[in-house]
Amino acid sequence: MDIDDKLAKKVDLYASVAKENPNVDIGALMMNALETQSRNLVSPAAKKWAYLISISVPPFGLLFAVKYFFDDKDDSQQVAWVCVILTVVSLLIFYFGYKAFFSTAGVTPQQIEQIKPSDIQQLYQ
């Protein structure tokens, strides 16, 4: 359920309670709903950390995605999907960058594996 939908349901509930009992302070109830709504969110620092890890170390971004998929915060599902998207984008950038690097160098990974340490030492001498 979306954050706005939850808040709208609370407002509707408070409005129905105010109709039944005119002594109820609906303004105070709505202020309370807004305050509690903002408390049940993932902190900005946690979001930044998860997004940074998802971009810089892609496989570990999926761990944050799993963590936030099962979290009970209101916006945790959104944070989890952003982590998945950032991880996939980062992996694609890495893959295509790796492929472009080796295609422009004219060297295949098999050729690099065949390089012996003694060959590199001879270059330094």
Q: Report the residue count for the chain.
A: 125
Q: What percent of the chain has pLDDT above 90?
A: 34
Mean pLDDT along residues 29-41: 73
Q: What is the mean pLDDT of residues 50-58?
A: 93
Residues of the chain above pLDDT 70, percent? 93
Mean pLDDT score, 67-83: 90
Contact 93, 61 (CB under 8 A): no
Annotate 14-37 with three-state secondary structure. Answer: HHHHHHHCCCCCHHHHHHHHHHHH
pLDDT value, residue 118: 84
- When pLDDT is cut at 50, 70 and 90, the band that residue 105 belongs to is low
Distance CA 80, CA 64 (A): 7
pLDDT(22) > 90:
no
